Structure 1
Amino acid sequence: MISLEIRRSNLVFNLAEALWYFSGRGDLEYISYYAPGIRRFVLGSDALTGTAYGPRIFTFGPSRLDQWASVVETLREDPDTKRAVVQIYRPEELTVPGNPDVACTIGLQFLARNDRLNLVTYMRANDAYRGIASDIFSFTFLQELMARELGLEVGRYTHMVGSLHLYEPDVGPARRLVASPHDQGATRDRMPDMPSGDQRPYVKRVMQIEEGLREDAVRLGVSEIMTLDLPEYWRQVVAVFELYRRCKHHTCADDDGLLGELYPLYRHLMVNRFPKLSSDPQAKAAVS
């Protein structure tokens, strides 16, 4: 996570996108709630193709191959293997006329070395200001999920890009970012560690709750979130989604002090992205 104040990192979207991938989904309804602008990449359907990596990971090609499961099995049988690769890019994407949604990621290579799980990501192209930050978050999130399932520590992450580009509308923000003090408004707080073991049961439960929050059919207070049948790590994710629901559907009010229950990094990022969350005295006290 980039915690610089000027960068205004979107923790909500980062978590939502990573879970979108890990849930094997490609639906526009879900991801556009967190990133409305993504609708411009859809080619005549209600689902994304190239941008949606989840179906590529879990139901790839005509055989609907679960690449995640095959990589897990391969690494368990031969921890020294160099074949634990998840393919994302598909060559037939180039044959679709006017396709605005071609996968930027070629593949992910998992390498187990010295009881640590390393990940190398190969990109054909990457947006240097917006896309790269989201991609590195999502792929290291997947790396940690895979490491926990295999019982390994998280190792090194390597991000390789064939063509790194900066879009014209981002030139000004990028210049301001480079010119700002490197630690202005930043925090030394880090992402928390995931619990051990296979995270899929927890993710399934989180996504069930997320749907209700996204539709504004469920509203959760502090006590409801803190007593969910989930590890603290995943309860915090639900709390982030609940705060976003309040900002998306209502007035961003933190009238029950939920903001103060977040991990320090999460609290920092949420206030930086959604300043109205700290506009009432109770929230301000929690942040301080």
Structure 2
Amino acid sequence: MEFDTFHHAYTAVLRSLVDQPSYRNAPRGQPSSERLGVQYRLRRPSQRVPLVPARRLNIAFNLAEALWYLSGRDDLDFIAHYAPGIRKYSADGVRLTGTAYGRAIFGGDGRPDQWWTVVDQLRDDPDSKRAVVQIFRAEELTVPGNPDVSCTLGVQFLVREGALHAIGFMRANDAYRGMSSDVFSFTFIQELMARQLGLRLGEYVHTVGSMHVYDSDARRAREVLADPAAAADPALPFPEMPEGDNWPFVRHVLDLEEPLRLNRHRLDPAVDFPGLPDYWAQVLLVLELHRALRHGEPPDEGTAALLWPCYRWLMGKWRPDLLAGPVTLGS
């Protein structure tokens, strides 16, 4: 299957599982509908969100998860702030082992830094087929009752005709919930690497062994498919990263993420934005609004007014009480 944006891919995959599943099973006692060996291609991977009101995507979590990976951390405190339900996957209540893809990518616990190895590989030999970041580790299956086995096997990066393409390989993917965050993060990482290498953003291919929808999400999946926006072209473009090496801006955002998350800082554009491209300033604005929400503060209307239309729409649909005034796809 080939799609222009993830908006189109998301709804098509959901429909295939809701209308024509290949199997019914219940891994770990969770009934689901399943298709095996699912693969699709995104021609514009920067357009990485489904703009369907019924989905109510949590864009703050999507951005935070990508940043968590880029930080190379595996601590639960960071990511559980944005998705408290993820705590159930931690064996010790402190760390995540399989889900912490950043630790696998950037090293730690005796593992190598794969990011810079891949960057050097592609710089030395742009035609290489060896630029692979491995996520899944065989020893994960040797831990009895392991609650957090990596769903992702790895990501391959290929340079062809001046563009950086990426292929994500997953052993399993929850199409309703997990797929939206996985594709968001993998294409975000692909775009960051393309900019670092001075290349165009190529295509992204998502490859999954078991694509499934759990019965507990079946009603919500049908609501998404019944939403008229599911069949329409997305009217708002998702922002694209600025050209050049974005790592200094990633580090700046990460330096501010923690004090925002811990409510030790309130975003001040006059202080926090100088020298920061608008793209990354928008990420901080989303995190600031999330900070206010989590700590019981009314969102600042001036901050909300600075959001670009796509972020404003996503935040408004996720939490209708967050922003003043209606936000439509045509705005």
Deviation per CA, 1:39-98, whole angstroms, max 9, x where unpaired?
000002401000000010010662x31100000000001101100000000000000011
Larger RCO (CA within 8 A; separation ≥ 6): 2
Is 1:244 the counterpart of 2:290? The answer is: yes
Bigger drift between 97-106 and 162-171 goes to 162-171
Spell out the pairing of 1:197-276 with structure 2 (5 A cutoff).
Answer: 197-225=244-272, 227-255=273-301, 257-276=302-321
Is 1:195 the counterpart of 2:195? The answer is: no
What is the letter of the counterpart of residue 3 of structure 1? L
Spell out the pairing of 1:130-209 with structure 2 (5 A cutoff).
Answer: 130-183=177-230, 187-209=234-256
Q: Report if the CA contact (8 A) 1:149-1:197 is conserved.
A: yes
Shift of residue 3, structure 1, vs aligned partner:
1.3
Shift of residue 128, structure 1, vs aligned partner:
0.9
Shift of residue 222, structure 1, vs aligned partner:
4.9
Question: Residues of 2 paired with 1:272 and 1:38: CA distance?
Answer: 22
Question: Residues of 2 paired with 1:51 and 1:34: CA distance?
Answer: 14
Q: Which residue of 2 aligns with 1:78?
A: 125
Q: Which residue of 1 aligns with 2:94?
A: 46
Q: Which residue of 2 aligns with 1:9?
A: 57
Q: Report if the CA contact (8 A) 1:252-1:276 is conserved.
A: no
Q: Report if the CA contact (8 A) 1:120-1:157 is conserved.
A: yes
Shift of residue 231, structure 1, vs aligned partner:
1.2
Deviation per CA, 1:124-151, whole angstroms, max 9, x where unpaired?
0000100001000000000001000100
What is the letter of the counterpart of residue 194 of structure 1? M
Question: Residues of 1 paired with 2:311 and 2:64: CA distance?
Answer: 14
| 2:206 partner SS | strand
Shift of residue 263, structure 1, vs aligned partner:
1.2
| 1:156 partner SS | strand
Shift of residue 251, structure 1, vs aligned partner:
3.4
| 2:81 partner SS | helix
Structure 1 274/222 Cα, relative in aligned 2: closer, same or farther at 3 Å?
farther
Spell out the pairing of 1:29-68 with structure 2 (5 A cutoff).
Answer: 29-59=77-107, 62=110, 64-68=111-115
Structure 1 3/164 Cα, relative in aligned 2: closer, same or farther at 3 Å?
same
Question: Residues of 1 paired with 2:61 and 2:211: CA distance?
Answer: 22
| 2:136 partner SS | coil
Question: Residues of 1 paired with 2:219 and 2:61: CA distance?
Answer: 23
Structure 1 111/37 Cα, relative in aligned 2: closer, same or farther at 3 Å?
same
What is the letter of the counterpart of residue 240 of structure 1? V
Question: Residues of 2 paired with 1:228 and 1:244: CA distance?
Answer: 22
| 2:97 partner SS | coil
What is the letter of the counterpart of residue 152 of structure 1? L
Shift of residue 277, structure 1, vs aligned partner:
2.1
Question: Residues of 2 paired with 1:252 and 1:157: CA distance?
Answer: 39
What is the letter of the counterpart of residue 48 of structure 1? L
What is the letter of the counterpart of residue 75 of structure 2? D
What is the letter of the counterpart of residue 272 of structure 1? K
Question: Residues of 2 paired with 1:182 and 1:274: CA distance?
Answer: 18
- Structure 1: runs of 5+ lacking an equivalent: none
Query: How many residues are treated as equivalent by the alignment?
Result: 281
Structure 1 42/137 Cα, relative in aligned 2: closer, same or farther at 3 Å?
same
What is the letter of the counterpart of residue 52 of structure 2? L
Question: Residues of 1 paired with 2:202 and 2:323: CA distance?
Answer: 36
Question: Residues of 2 paired with 1:130 and 1:259: CA distance?
Answer: 26
Deviation per CA, 1:10-66, whole angstroms, max 9, x where unpaired?
11000000011011111100000000000000002401000000010010662x311
Shift of residue 179, structure 1, vs aligned partner:
2.2
What is the letter of the counterpart of residue 149 of structure 1? Q
Question: Residues of 2 paired with 1:137 and 1:143: CA distance?
Answer: 10
Bigger drift between 2-11 and 175-184 goes to 175-184
Shift of residue 221, structure 1, vs aligned partner:
4.3
Question: Residues of 1 paired with 2:308 and 2:271: CA distance?
Answer: 17
Deviation per CA, 1:81-125, whole angstroms, max 9, x where unpaired?
100000000000000011010000001000100100000000000
